[in-house]
Every structure is written in C-alpha cells, then in structure tokens.
Structure 1
Amino acid sequence: MKSFMLTIAVLLLVSNPFNAQELKSPNGLLAMQFLLESDGTPTYKLSYKNKVVIKQSRLGLELKNDKKSLLNDFIVSNTETVTFDETWQPVWGEVKTIRNYYNELAVTLTQNETDRIVVIRFRMFNEGLGFRYEFPTQKNLVYFVIKEEKTQFAMTGNHTAFWIPGDYDSQEYDYTKSKLSEISGEFDEAVTDNASQEQFSKTGVQTALMMKTSEGLYINLHEAALINYACMHLNLDDENMVFESWLTPDANGDKGYIQAPSNSPWRTIIVSDDAREILASKMTLNLNDPCTIEDTSWIKPIKYIGVWWEMITGKSSWAYTDELPAVKLGITDFSKVVPNGKHAANTTHVKEYIDFASKHGFDAVLVEGWNEGWEDWFGKSKDYVFDFVTPYPDFDVEAIHTYAQSKGVKMIMHHETSGSVRNYERHMDKAYQFMNDHGYDAVKSGYVGNILPRGEHHYSQWIVNHYQYAVEKAADYKIMVNAHEAIRPTGISRTYPNLIGNESARGTEFQAFGGSKPNHVTVLPFTRLIGGPMDYTPGIFEMDISNFSPNNNSHVNSTIANQLALYVTMYSPLQMAADLPEHYEQFMDAFQFIKDVAIDWDNSIYLEAEPGDYLTVARKEKGASNWFVGNVNGNETRTSKITFDFLEKGKTYMATMYADAKDAHYKTNPQAYIIKTKKVTSKSKLSQISVPGGGFAISIVEIK
C-alpha cells in the first residue's frame, strides 16, 4: 500500500551565486537556510519554532593529493525543490505502516576554475533534517580520495550530551552524561578496555549523539544509509561548541575512495521539544532506499534462546580442548585430543536447549562454539582462523538438525570471524550453503578483535563494504543476519530487511564483564536504536553471576522487572531469552512474560521518555488485539504515571503487571518482584513506582 505526492520546481541562480535558499518542514516548524559565504563556501543553518538549533555551519570535503578541495569557490548553478509523501509497509517493525513525508532542496554547486559539480541534497521532515553530498557523472571529478569530510554542526550552547568516546573499532562503552565543555575532562574515564579500540581525540564522540539544551530542546545527530563510505564520528571544538565530521581512516590513513557517480551517507539532525518524538522518528529509515528483496516471505522475527550466556559468564567453554597451544584447520585432529569437559556446544547439551525452546514456544536456538578453531581464535592476528563448516567431534550437525526439526525448532548459526574478514569472504558461499543444507536460516556473525587485513578498522570504508557484502550475499541464500561488533546501523534494514539485528553497542554481555550502568538501557533507545534494532540479549534473572560461575564476581545491574521490560523498550524483531534454562525454571511466573511478549508490532506509542532517566513504551502486537507495556528506570526511584487511552474504546482488557517489589533494588535485591492482574479500559490510569535499575512490564489481553 503506497501513496505519494511529488512536486518539482527548478530555479537557475547563476546570476546570483550567494542567493540564500530556505527549506521548511511540511508542518512548518523546522526551517533550514542554505547560503554561500563570500568565498563560495557552502553553509547551512537550522531553526526549530523560530529558534536556532544549528548555527551557520560549513559544508565540504577536503581531498587528498589534489590542488583544489571541494570546500569553497563555488557558485550555485541550479536548485530543485520537491515535496514527497508516501506510505510504505516494513517487513517487520515498530509500526505496520510508515509515512515518508518531506520537502527537499537540491543545490547544484559548480566550482570556479575546476568546473567540478557537487550536489548537496537536503530533505526536511517534520522531525528533522537530512543532507548528503552527491557527485554526479562528470569529466572533471571521476576518481578522488577524501582526506577529510568537513561537515560542521555548530551548537548554540553548552548542551548536555549523552556520549561515548569516538572510536574506530568499538561502540561497546557505557554512556557518559556531561556538558559539551566537559567531554575532554571526562574522556579518559569514559574509555574502558575492549577487544579492539582506537580513539582519535579527547573531544571525539560517536553518533548517534543525543543532546539536550538548557531550554529543553532535544537534538540527535547521526547518519543514514551508510553505503560504500567510512563511518562518521564527530570531533568537538569545545571553545566554539562546533562539531565537525571525522571519518574513519583505512590502513593508509585515507578516509574514502570515491568514484563518481556516487554520494555520501545522509547526515541527520532530529529535533524536538518532546523526547518521545525523537524515539518515534522514522527519519533514518526513510532516508534509505526501499526494500530490494522481491520475496520477503522468508524473513521472520525470531524469539530465541541459546548456548551463549554460560560461556560469556565463564561457566562453560567455547573451546573443545585445553591441551593444544595452537590449531591449524585441516591438520589438527580433534578426535585425538582430550576434551576439556567444559565444551558447551555438545550434542546432548544442545538437545536440552532444543527441548526447552520447544516446551516454552521459542522459535530457535543459537549455539556458539560448535566449530573447530576456538582454541586460539582471539588475539593471534590469524587469517585462516575458522572455516565455518567443520564441527567439533562432540557436535553432530545432522543429529541436531533432525532433532530440532522433530521439535519444531529452528537453529541459528554462529559465525565468529575473529576480525578476519578476508577469511570470512573466502568461505562465505560454502558457509551459507552449509546453512541451507542443515536448516539454518539465520546467522549471528561476530567481528571480535583487530581487523584483518591488518591496519584496517571496524568502521573504515573497506570494512563497511564487507558488512554490506555479507548481508547482500546472505539474501541470495535467504539467510537473515544478526551482526555483532559490526558497524552501527543506519537504517539499511529498510533496503535489506534480512539484516534483522545488530549488536554494535554495549550489550548484556558486559554485565558479565563487570557490569553496566543501571541507567544504560534508558540511553540506548535515544542513541544506538536510532539507526535500527539491537540484539541486546535481555532476560537475565540470576544477577549474582558467582552463584553459578564461581570465578566471576560480576553483578547484573538490573532488577528482574527491568529485564522483562526490555523486551518492549529495546525494540528488536530478534529477541533472546539470554539466561540459563535452570534460572528460568526458578521464576516461571515471571518467565511467562517473556513467553507471551510479541516481537513484531502494528503500533508503538512512547508514553514517557527522558534520556538517562526513564522510558515507558506501549506496543500493539501485529495482527492481534494484545498490547504490551514496558518501563525501564534509571538511577533514582520514580513514580510512573500513564493512562491506557491507547486501548480501543469500548473494550475491556485483562492487564498482568510484573513490577518491582517495594524493597527491590538493582544492587541489593534485584529478584524482588510482584505480579498482579487487573481489568482495564481506555479510561484506566496507572501510577507505579520503579526502583533504581528497575521498571515494570505489562501484558494486556482483550477480554472477549
């Protein structure tokens, strides 16, 4: 179902090269002014409700080994304006339909002396602005190398920001809340160890960057449709409060190799005086191309469990043996080594997970550590590390396939690359065909450690292209992809909806590596989730990890009620019940919510929101009348007050609430919760206390 309106106006402005152009949002609340400075430097300014949000900011690109960069000495040779309005249906998502409604201004710039042409295309939505650089086919600009993109975002003041360090390889940080002027002073403390990381500046931060002004305005900076280009970070001039784009370099230090015709990703600015509107925005998706997969019937949301948390916490092992100093695939004979007795991916144990999934209605089971090579997979700069098809002696691929089929459960493949992307591409067709042959229609890929080829970064252009190649190749085999440690999403799941999930942020696994801040999950929806869903792997019920993994003293900084709420607040069509089955057996009444909660939605309504403090979301199950509500709370006890006016009028529903007990606390009493039921209608109201690191979850079923 699609409808659209398209109008075009063309203006020739050669006679007036400094002529300012204005573009407004369809509702008129946002306004952008484009103009050339006296030296021909392109600039823009953004206002919201007649107040400046982004001060006059420069645009352009610095080129390598070129006498003249694409920075100045331009004239405006043409402009085009467009109004576009359509409605489209995502394959999966937070809502059944999405409106794509914007006004567009395309400014064609011609550079004096070189006659090079650059188009800067602006799209203004009701919630924000997107713009990109376009390089049309031309004689004087064909191949060029980007030394740096010089896009600026000039702030109007010393805003409060929720940020993580700018890093070429990792997004797995806790968020820091500070004034912009305080970033440099808090930078070192914000950096925590990771498998691979490289920061570039003490004032460098990553997108999506969430900010709040002293006047209560919310601003989000990010990018959309990152294709064949390096990932953008932001570097702050903290004297003038101006962010400038900072692209991820390749092994040579170059920021991008471009061949025209081509274009950059969209640079996005989402603005509102209501935090809920930031979360509800679909602008990032709308700036991506429509779905290119003709038949999407094989792409299905998944609720799964997995052989994973027990290895993350140290209870079990990915490796089959402890007696080998090194492994060479095709040479090492694992049938002749002594097993370590801790290898979790064995046939008997995996069948236990399959039984649990079948009994409780889960779609699939993920198994990590099933394939040869885990003995020396990490930190060795090893090219031929895995072949993705050879199982350990104790993992019977055929038997697992047959058993899972008999139980009505799918299996999820795991491909850890150890950062060796050339090796993964070398084996990719064979690995995907192996999945087809054995009934795996989804893969969790991983890129832990430094990238090979050596010197490349996780977010450089060449590696960004690799991630895209993997998704497109997977589509050829009708395989869904859940990429971990890859580039943060930028809405590409609209074009390739088989990209059903990403990690690309500090997920639940870090609760086993020393813990995350209790308000972490109140920030992620404003930052990481702006670009697409996250495989956050929630559902942890045993918070004291030493109770089952004695050598690990980490603590999960969350209550059980908070963990339940994450299935609603952390949107994803791929949701894992991440804890061990035996821990769910201890709290089956709370586990019921995980079994019941939907993973695909007709509608989503953000009821309350404040980054870093709290979030309450209501979602309607796709194709059903059921609703689910989730609330996650930050560092302080808070009373949530909501109404149920999202329910259909005239109908009565049974609401089952899973909430923090009065004495619950994420640190001292995380497993204290209450369950209560109550009939509700669209006129009902709720006042509910959430403790630090806590929250509540509600399932709402129509009484027929």
Structure 2
Amino acid sequence: MPATALASDDSPEDERHSTASPESINQVHVEVQDGVPMYQITRLGEPVVEPSPLGFLLEDAPDLDGPFAITEVETSTFDETWEQVWGEKQFIRNHYNEMRIHLTEQEDPERDLVVTFRVYDDGVGFRYEFPEQEGLEEFRIADELTEFRLTGDHASWYIDAYQWNRFEYYFENTPLSEADTVHTPLTMRTEDDLYISMHEAALVDFSTMTLERTGENTLKSNLMPWSEGDRVRVTDTRVSPWRTFQLADTPGDLITSYLILNLNEPNKLEDTSWIKPAKYNGIWWEMHLDKSTWNRGERLGATTENAKRYIDFAAEHGLDHVLVEGWNEGWDEAWYESGVVFSFTESIPEFDLEEVAQYALDNDVRLMGHHETSASVLHYEDQMHDAFALYEDLGVRAVKTGYVGHGTEIVRYDEDGNEHNEWHHGQFMVNHHLDVIELAAEHQIALNVHEGVKSTGLRRTYPNMMTSEVAKGREYDAWGDAGGNPPDHTATLPFTRNLAGPFDFTPGMVDLHFDEYRPDNRIKSTLAKELALYITIFSPLHMVADLPENYEEQPEAFQFIKDVPTDWYDTKVLNASIGNYITMVRKERGGDDWYLGSITDENGRVLSAPLHFLDADTRYVAEIYRDGTDAHWDHTPYDMVTEERLVDHTTELTLRLAASGGQVIRFRPATDEDIERLE
C-alpha cells in the first residue's frame, strides 16, 4: 500500500521522539541534548546504539553542529512489494515506519537540517537532507559528525580503509577495539549473538563513508576526502546516502535482509528487456596463469583465432558471453603506471573486433567488452561515449570495466588547470561511476565493474549495474603472495562483501593445481566446493572461469556449472557461521528447481539440511555432487561423488563436507520414470 502519514507536530527541544518498526522489533529515539541532536537505536527494548550525535562541519559556512531544536516531526508508514528485474529474490517487501526530524538552529543563521529515519524489522537507515536556503545554496562538508556509539567490544569482520590496494585485502576478524578506520560493510557479532552489518545505501553524488574508531566502542563517519581536504561538495544533490544498520538474530538473516535495496530509488530504466542474467567465459584466466599475455607477442591471448575458440566453446555449452581482455591498443605500454596509453575503440592488428563480434552473434553468443582504464579516468571519459556507441553497434550487451591503480592515482584538474590525485572512493569517482552507469544504459549495455566503488544498492535504480569486484577475487589464487586464497575467504564473503551486492568472484575452477604455469600457487578448495560457489556467492553475471580444455576433463562438474542459474526467485540460508561455513538454497526464477550450495573453511563439517523449503505436494530428484570419503583440499581435492535420490519437504539431509570442501544439490520435480527408477 502507499505511504500513509501518521502524524506531524511541532516539538520543544527537550522532547524525545520515537518510532518503531512495523512489528515493534527495532526502535529509533531522537532528542536534542544541549543543542546537539542525538539518536539511539534499540532492538526489543535493548540498546544497539547508545545516544549518538549528528551534524556536520563545513568548509565555507558556519558549521551545522548546533545549537539545534526540533521544530517539526513527521511520521508515516510505507508498505509495498516490488519486483526486481533480476536478483537473489524476485519479489521484495518494502515495509517501514518513517520519522522525519526537522532541526532548526537556535542562533544565526537559523538554518534547517532534516534527518529522516526509516525503521524496518530487519534494521534501520537514516540520512540527512539539506534544504536549499539562504547561506546553504552550495557548500563544502569538512567533516561528518555522525557517531555510532555501540554497546560493546563486538567481534568484527572488516577491511582497513585508506590502503593502496583499495578493497583487495582479506577480512580481519578482531574485537572492535582493535579496528582503526575500516570500510563498510562492517559485520559484527555481540556477546548476546545479535548480528550487525553497518553500511550505506544509495551512494550518489557524495563521498564514500568509512568508519573511524574514535573510542573503545565508538565509531564515527569518516568520509573519503577530496585532494584539497574537503569531504563532500554539495550542489544539486541535497541528501546524503543512507547510514544503515542491518540487525539479525542469525548471520544468515543478514544475507536475506534487503534493507540496502529497499533504501534505493526504484528502477529508472523504462526498458529493461535487454538486461539478462547470464554466464560467460573468456580470455582472462589463461593470462593470470601466465599461459598467455595481455601485451602483444608470441603468447598474446587476444587473437581473433583464440577468441573464436572461446566462442565455439560458449556456443556448444550454452554460455551467453565471451570476455576478451587485451583486445585494444595500449597493453604493450607501461599501462599499469598510466592508462593514458589505452584506446577504447581501436583493436590491435591480431584481433579483428568487428569480425569477432559478428562471429559471436552468428553463433548465438555475444562478445563481452572490456575497458581497463588503469585509473586514468579523464582519458577514459574522453573516449567512453565513442567506446560504448561502438560496442552497441557490434551487439555487445555487457562490458567489464577496470580501474587498476593505487588508492590515490585518480587524476583530475581543477578550474585553474592544477593536477590533483583523488581516492578511488571519493565523491569525484562516485560521480564518475554513475556517469558510466547512465551512459551504458543509454547504449543498452550492462556493467561488470572491477576496482570500482563499493556497491550500495544502486542496482535497484539502475539494473544494468549488474555486478562488480571491489574485493579480493579469484586472480589471487593464481599469483597471490599467500599461494592462493585461504580456505576461509569464501566462507567469509557471504557475510561481508556480498552484503553490499553481487560479486564477480569468477568461480568454477575445475583444475585446482596449475604447476605447469604457477607452481607456487593453487586453489585451496575441493572440486565440490568450487561448484558450490555458484550458489553461495551471488552474481547475475557468473563467469565459467577455467580454461575450456579443463572442463572437458571434468564433465560431471561442468554439467552442474552449465545447469545452475544466475537469477533467482527466492533465497534462504539453512545454516551459517561467519568465516566457518554456510548452506544456502535458491529457487530458480521462472522454474520449479531449487539449488543447494554448502561450503566450509579448512575444517571438515557435518551439517544438517532440512528440506522444508520444497513444495509440500511434490517429490523431487536430488542430483547430488558431494565430497568423496577421502576428499581434502590439500591432497585429494578432486574426490567427488555424484548420485541421485528421491526427497520431499520432510527429508532432512546430512551434508558431509571435507576440509575446505562443499556440496551442491539440484532439486528437480520427479517424473514417474524417476520415481520408478529410484524407489
């Protein structure tokens, strides 16, 4: 139903105002103390965030830090169910109670500031609004004063902020008191087993928020700065992103919370028929293995002949796109140091762009474009209109972008022509990425962004923003210093990085040792675990990442990879422990099949999987791919058993997972022949 106004009143400064979620699970309380607006969050009457201040320091105007009085309070409720164009759940309920707090300065210049709280049963979001008024037409934020005074030294999972390699680090797991300044999502567990994820939603025309620990249990908003030191430049956009708290009794409930999406604006694209969840392969992994190279020479990967080989493989096995990296001019130069060498419209002589794109279309496949910028953003912006237009003409429907570069290698020029180095996650780059999203949509192209800005739910507003990296991905298995990602990395991602949005992790490896190319590295998983990553790490564009010839040697594993969808009707978590294990089930969109994926860290597990999610009136065939009796990631990773059995909604399966192992199951409705064969 539509939003319904509940109340509006004028309020004295010392009055406390509260609103609760629809089922009165979470509550927000706001009051002014000594001129400072303070908010508090409670859950079932117990504090989650103690009274914490709000406000801003400004560069070129008096600070917005009080003394304030509450001059008006508006409350309303909202309840609707909306449909995702694609996603981990097709229909999402957006049900909240809202409280808009109008604050007015009690001293000159008597400006207004509005703080809006939306309170859901699964969490809270709040944001600032800056009404346009005299003395606040355009301004610069020097600091955001928002604090988050937590109730204890919670167990925390995070990545440190302000590092040279952006988000590409393994997650720390420490008490909160050992954190410094961290990226979001920040995941926490209290002593009472309440699970908290702090993040932000609808990051538009603002700077990315990091969280700085300023006291033992106190965090403060720390906005990524411009090179001149100011944090945000407020002109047309008069609202901040939402500061979010997802609150859950189990870690799995964090995963099935859609608060971040709900706090974003509805879809702005009138025609979304061209946006298709898909699987893709491509000329990528062979270069990370050093079997071939991005630059030209005897081992060049991006040749017309090699691209056609990948296209033939994709066509034979029903894959939708073929990614080709290294196709364009510039890779022979010192591109890692300066992306100004790249052309985004001119292919190298060994690669005929038009011929390859047409060959793909002739085989019912599409070329996936690639734009590596090496963080030379202005150089890219000079060409990207022509580049996207070219791709549209060639029938390309998805582009992988890249921004490889150190944390502050983004260059811009001010009005006086002075050069500035900007952070990857400051307001300058936030605006750049939105420009790319909108431009891509004009040309009916979906995006897969690497080294970009963290996801904050904009995929709801712009569903062509399909997936991204912004984390430590699969390539570190090929050449990372640790000899490959540790076993607990993929068991941590669903509760941390994936809470922000889809992750192009590039799963599906079936050759777990590659001594011929990278003898010091390997994939620290069993074969069955690799299959399970298609379920436990969500992405609507999932890569079939291994070399084509390797899949031919693992036909049973490859069959599951071909079968598994990338778009879902529903998602549930059966059991979960952050960094240790997870079992998820997803139902395919537009069909009757369910898929189960379960993985563990370096420790073997025996987990229970009750199948109560299955339709009560249907019997199913469970197509099982599981770790064999002797499976172990270190010495016998390929030991995998495939089998079938009949199940129904009363069945409870026992999942035996090897060390860094996994299991996947496809549940499909049984035919009469199946029942006769398997009973």
TM-score (norm. length: structure 2): 0.95
Task: Give the aligned partner of residue 441 of structure 1.
Answer: 397
Shift of 1:261: 5.7
1:107 and 1:272 mapped to 2: Cα distance?
Answer: 26
The question of 1:572 aligning with 2:539 is answered yes
The question of 1:54 aligning with 2:45 is answered no
The question of 1:290 aligning with 2:246 is answered no
2:478 and 2:66 mapped to 1: Cα distance?
Answer: 51
Query: In 2, are the aligned partners of 1:152 and 1:243 still within 8 Å (CA)?
Result: yes
1:299 and 1:490 mapped to 2: Cα distance?
Answer: 20
Task: Give the aligned partner of residue 5 of structure 2.
Answer: 7
Given the alignment, which residue of 6, 29, 35 partners 2:31?
A: 35
The question of 1:268 aligning with 2:244 is answered yes
Query: In 2, are the aligned partners of 1:443 and 1:479 still within 8 Å (CA)?
Result: yes
Q: Which moved more, 1:538-547 or 1:676-685?
A: 538-547
Aligned residues: 656
Query: In 2, are the aligned partners of 1:304 and 1:366 still within 8 Å (CA)?
Result: yes
Shift of 1:43: 1.1
Shift of 1:591: 1.0
The question of 1:138 aligning with 2:133 is answered yes
The question of 1:110 aligning with 2:86 is answered no
Query: In 1, are the aligned partners of 2:337 and 2:374 still within 8 Å (CA)?
Result: no
In the TM superposition, 1:538-553 aligns within 5 A as 538-547=507-516, 549-550=517-518, 552-553=519-520
Task: Give the aligned partner of residue 622 of structure 2.
Answer: 655
Q: Structure 1: any 5+ residue segments left out of the alignment?
A: 184-202, 321-339
1:254 and 1:313 mapped to 2: Cα distance?
Answer: 42
1:667 and 1:452 mapped to 2: Cα distance?
Answer: 44
Task: Give the aligned partner of residue 95 of structure 1.
Answer: 89
The AA in structure 2 aligned to 1:371 is N
Task: Give the aligned partner of residue 697 of structure 1.
Answer: 664
**1:493 counterpart SS class:** coil
Query: In 2, are the aligned partners of 1:638 and 1:691 still within 8 Å (CA)?
Result: yes
The question of 1:390 aligning with 2:346 is answered yes
Task: Give the aligned partner of residue 190 of structure 1.
Answer: none
Given the alignment, which residue of 436, 443, 452 partners 2:411?
A: 452
**1:648 counterpart SS class:** coil
Per-residue Cα deviation, 1:84-115 (whole angstroms, up to 9, x for no partner): 00111010011121100000000010112211
Q: Which moved more, 1:121-130 or 1:453-462?
A: 453-462
Given the alignment, which residue of 296, 304, 318 partners 2:294?
A: 318
The AA in structure 2 aligned to 1:575 is H
Query: In 2, are the aligned partners of 1:168 and 1:459 still within 8 Å (CA)?
Result: no
Query: In 2, are the aligned partners of 1:204 and 1:233 still within 8 Å (CA)?
Result: yes
Shift of 1:151: 1.2
Shift of 1:260: 5.7
Given the alignment, which residue of 442, 448, 458 partners 1:476?
A: 442
In the TM superposition, 1:169-184 aligns within 5 A as 170-183=166-179
1:394 and 1:512 mapped to 2: Cα distance?
Answer: 26
Task: Give the aligned partner of residue 303 of structure 2.
Answer: 346
Pick closer, same or farther for the CA change 1:424–1:260 going to 2, 3 Å.
closer
Task: Give the aligned partner of residue 674 of structure 2.
Answer: none
Shift of 1:510: 1.4
Query: In 1, are the aligned partners of 2:604 and 2:657 still within 8 Å (CA)?
Result: yes
2:13 and 2:354 mapped to 1: Cα distance?
Answer: 69
Query: In 1, are the aligned partners of 2:153 and 2:216 still within 8 Å (CA)?
Result: no
Shift of 1:5: 4.5
Shift of 1:430: 0.5
2:336 and 2:319 mapped to 1: Cα distance?
Answer: 35
Given the alignment, which residue of 551, 556, 560 partners 2:523?
A: 556
The AA in structure 1 aligned to 2:31 is L
Query: In 2, are the aligned partners of 1:385 and 1:417 still within 8 Å (CA)?
Result: no
Per-residue Cα deviation, 1:409-450 (whole angstroms, up to 9, x for no partner): 111000001101111111111001110111111100000012
Task: Give the aligned partner of residue 223 of structure 1.
Answer: 200
Per-residue Cα deviation, 1:293-315 (whole angstroms, up to 9, x for no partner): 01111111111111100111211
The AA in structure 1 aligned to 2:587 is K
Given the alignment, which residue of 587, 595, 603 partners 1:628?
A: 595
Q: Structure 2: any 5+ residue segments left out of the alignment?
A: 413-419, 672-679
1:167 and 1:565 mapped to 2: Cα distance?
Answer: 33
Q: Which moved more, 1:282-291 or 1:635-644?
A: 635-644
Pick closer, same or farther for the CA change 1:155–1:281 going to 2, 3 Å.
same
Task: Give the aligned partner of residue 162 of structure 2.
Answer: 167
Task: Give the aligned partner of residue 321 of structure 2.
Answer: 364
Shift of 1:168: 6.1
**2:359 counterpart SS class:** helix
The question of 1:18 aligning with 2:14 is answered yes
In the TM superposition, 1:328-347 aligns within 5 A as 340-347=297-304
2:267 and 2:334 mapped to 1: Cα distance?
Answer: 36
1:635 and 1:179 mapped to 2: Cα distance?
Answer: 22
Q: Which moved more, 1:622-631 or 1:685-694?
A: 685-694
2:337 and 2:152 mapped to 1: Cα distance?
Answer: 46
Pick closer, same or farther for the CA change 1:312–1:616 going to 2, 3 Å.
same
Per-residue Cα deviation, 1:575-602 (whole angstroms, up to 9, x for no partner): 1011111111111111111000011111
Pick closer, same or farther for the CA change 1:457–1:168 going to 2, 3 Å.
farther
**1:523 counterpart SS class:** helix
The question of 1:462 aligning with 2:424 is answered no
Query: In 1, are the aligned partners of 2:82 and 2:91 still within 8 Å (CA)?
Result: yes
The AA in structure 2 aligned to 1:182 is E
**1:425 counterpart SS class:** helix
Pick closer, same or farther for the CA change 1:397–1:670 going to 2, 3 Å.
same
Task: Give the aligned partner of residue 410 of structure 1.
Answer: 366
The question of 1:616 aligning with 2:610 is answered no
**2:421 counterpart SS class:** coil
The AA in structure 2 aligned to 1:143 is E
**1:546 counterpart SS class:** coil
2:394 and 2:271 mapped to 1: Cα distance?
Answer: 22
Query: In 1, are the aligned partners of 2:227 and 2:421 still within 8 Å (CA)?
Result: yes
Per-residue Cα deviation, 1:98-148 (whole angstroms, up to 9, x for no partner): 100000000010112211111000000110000001001211211111111
1:656 and 1:561 mapped to 2: Cα distance?
Answer: 13
In the TM superposition, 1:46-85 aligns within 5 A as 46-66=41-61, 68-85=62-79
**Runs of at least 4 residues off by over 6 Å:** none
Aligned residues with identical type, % of pairs: 40
Shift of 1:663: 2.1
**1:292 counterpart SS class:** coil
Task: Give the aligned partner of residue 498 of structure 1.
Answer: 464
Given the alignment, which residue of 512, 527, 546 partners 2:496?
A: 527
Task: Give the aligned partner of residue 233 of structure 2.
Answer: 257
Given the alignment, which residue of 303, 322, 331 partners 2:279?
A: 303
**2:48 counterpart SS class:** strand
**1:358 counterpart SS class:** helix
Query: In 2, are the aligned partners of 1:285 and 1:531 still within 8 Å (CA)?
Result: no
Query: In 2, are the aligned partners of 1:388 and 1:415 still within 8 Å (CA)?
Result: yes
**2:585 counterpart SS class:** strand
Task: Give the aligned partner of residue 632 of structure 2.
Answer: 665
The question of 1:235 aligning with 2:212 is answered yes
The question of 1:423 aligning with 2:364 is answered no
**1:545 counterpart SS class:** coil
Shift of 1:691: 2.1
Two-structure CA RMSD over aligned residues (Å): 1.3
**1:518 counterpart SS class:** coil
1:181 and 1:121 mapped to 2: Cα distance?
Answer: 30
Shift of 1:167: 2.5
